[in-house]
């Protein structure tokens, strides 16, 4: 029995979460395991229930602590935008959750299925078969958190400074996440750095080479970040796993989401500590997009990002890799068969326009 905390949140969150849980029911029946689910309030929904006291109630944190992983929807919306910044849904719920659980690794798959290449801004002849890249970004170190940082007067003018700093142990643990993920994929890791200029990158590269020694089946290569940004646009199909530090990963993972074509298709995972004696991590799994208030409540949101988030939860926190493979394959078949929510529809022949529920039904049918 696995335990999961279910935090649906706001906007389209509850709609797509309902569908992903129905899909999970079907996966469990097929692969003969069960999950015990605890639903808890987060974001605007929690603010509404607590008279604007907090977007992250204690009971929610406790439900997460008692779980093997968190399935998260999305938070935020116009209703809560004018509250004090530290209790706004994203800042007051997402960031504290990441901090509380020490979620140091952000995994963002950039997948463009062969039948959705038209949605990618990359010239279709460059990606005839689509692509499937996993971007692994270090999330708690580097220049965003390094000290000293600040602003002062020097020689009569304002000067601002940040510090990019990495401990070897921080680099090692994110590289282990990348190599472990590669073992379940095509067994290729590309480490992205700026070792021709930055001291942190020199340590990063040395460490990558050392960690690679533990994974003889995985090949490692290196790219400077500027070149990586270009190669992602030119040959996304040639990458398997990209691993990089916080700032570079922030930029590259968004570039990757953009070239993939549709936000409604992309899940993400943020991983924390490893469960002892296993290759499994405690993690939080959520769509790459937000709460999409413009389409909330209409039953038209694409549930696939949420469904694939559940698949990542199965793979990285619950050890149900076979079930995750089957679910990913069912999603790919659903798209190949032409089912389309509004965000990925083109009106081309062979497409069937569906809503949130029908899309989930189609995935369940193909499992």
Binding flag, residue 317, ligand NAD (CB under 6 A): no
Catalytic residue among 68, 132, 166, 194: 194
User: Are β-strands 241-244 and 267-274 bridged in parallel, bridged antiparallel, or unpaired?
Assistant: unpaired
Residue 250 annotated in active site: yes
Residue 254 annotated in active site: yes
Catalytic residue among 48, 162, 186, 250: 250
Binding flag, residue 39, ligand NAD (CB under 6 A): no
Binding flag, residue 295, ligand NAD (CB under 6 A): yes
CB of 6 to ligand NAD, least distance (A): 14
HEC states along 101-136?
CCCCEEEEEEEECHHHHHHCCCCHHHCCCCEEEEEE
Beta bridge partners of residue 287, listed in sequence order: 267
Binding flag, residue 94, ligand NAD (CB under 6 A): yes
Exposure b/e, 188-200, CB count within 10 A at least 16 = b: ebbbbbbbeebeb
Token output for 199 = 């001291």
Binding flag, residue 290, ligand NAD (CB under 6 A): yes
d(CA 181, CA 242): 10
User: By the 8 A CB rule, do 109 and 256 touch?
Assistant: no
Residue 226 annotated in active site: yes
User: By the 8 A CB rule, do 182 and 108 touch?
Assistant: no
Residue 194 annotated in active site: yes
Q: Which of residues 339-358 bind ligand NAD (CB under 6 A)?
A: 343
Binding flag, residue 337, ligand NAD (CB under 6 A): no
Contact code string over 213-252 relative to ligand NAD, x by CB under 6 A: ----------------------------------------
Please name the residues in contact with 352: beta carbons below 8 A apart, sequence gap of 6 or more: 337, 338, 339, 340
CB of 343 to ligand NAD, least distance (A): 4
CB of 300 to ligand NAD, least distance (A): 7
Q: Residue numbers of the site for ligand NAD (CB under 6 A)?
A: 12, 74-77, 90, 94, 263-264, 286, 289-295, 301-302, 305, 343
Active site residues: 144, 194, 226, 250, 254
């Amino acid at each position: 029995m696995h335990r999961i905390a279910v935090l649906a949140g706001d906007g389209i969150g509850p709609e797509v979460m309902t569908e992903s849980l129905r899909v999970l029911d079907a996966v469990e029946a097929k692969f003969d395991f069960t999950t015990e689910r605890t639903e808890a309030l987060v974001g605007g929904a929690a603010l509404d229930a607590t008279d604007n006291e907090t977007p992250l109630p204690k009971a929610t944190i406790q439900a997460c602590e008692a779980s093997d992983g968190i399935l998260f929807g999305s938070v935020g919306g116009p209703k809560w935008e004018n509250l004090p910044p530290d209790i706004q849904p994203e800042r007051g719920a997402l960031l504290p959750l990441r901090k509380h659980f020490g979620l140091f690794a952000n995994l963002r798959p950039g997948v463009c299925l062969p039948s959705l290449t038209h949605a990618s801004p990359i010239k279709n002849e460059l990606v005839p078969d689509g692509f499937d890249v996993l971007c692994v970004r270090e999330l708690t170190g580097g220049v965003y958190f390094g000290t000293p940082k600040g602003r002062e007067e020097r020689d009569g003018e304002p000067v601002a400074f940040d510090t990019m700093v990495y401990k070897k142990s921080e680099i090692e643990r994110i590289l282990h996440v990348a190599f472990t993920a590669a073992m379940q994929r095509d067994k290729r890791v590309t480490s992205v750095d700026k070792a021709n200029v930055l001291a942190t990158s020199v340590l990063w590269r040395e460490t990558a080479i050392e960690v690679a020694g533990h994974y003889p089946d995985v090949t490692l290569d290196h790219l400077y970040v500027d070149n990586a940004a270009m190669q992602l646009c030119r040959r996304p199909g040639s990458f398997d796993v990209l691993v990089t530090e916080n700032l570079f990963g922030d930029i590259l993972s968004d570039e990757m989401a953009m070239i993939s074509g549709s936000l409604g298709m992309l899940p993400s995972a943020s991983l924390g500590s490893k469960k002892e004696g296993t290759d499994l991590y405690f993690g939080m799994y959520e769509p790459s997009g937000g709460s999409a208030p413009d389409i909330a409540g209409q039953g038209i949101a694409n549930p696939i990002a949420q469904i694939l988030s559940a698949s990542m939860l199965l793979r990285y926190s619950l050890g149900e890799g076979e079930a995750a493979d089957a679910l990913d394959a069912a999603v790919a078949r659903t798209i190949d068969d032409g089912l389309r929510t509004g965000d990925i529809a083109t009106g081309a022949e062979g497409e069937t326009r569906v809503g949130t529920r029908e899309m989930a039904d189609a995935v369940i049918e193909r499992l």
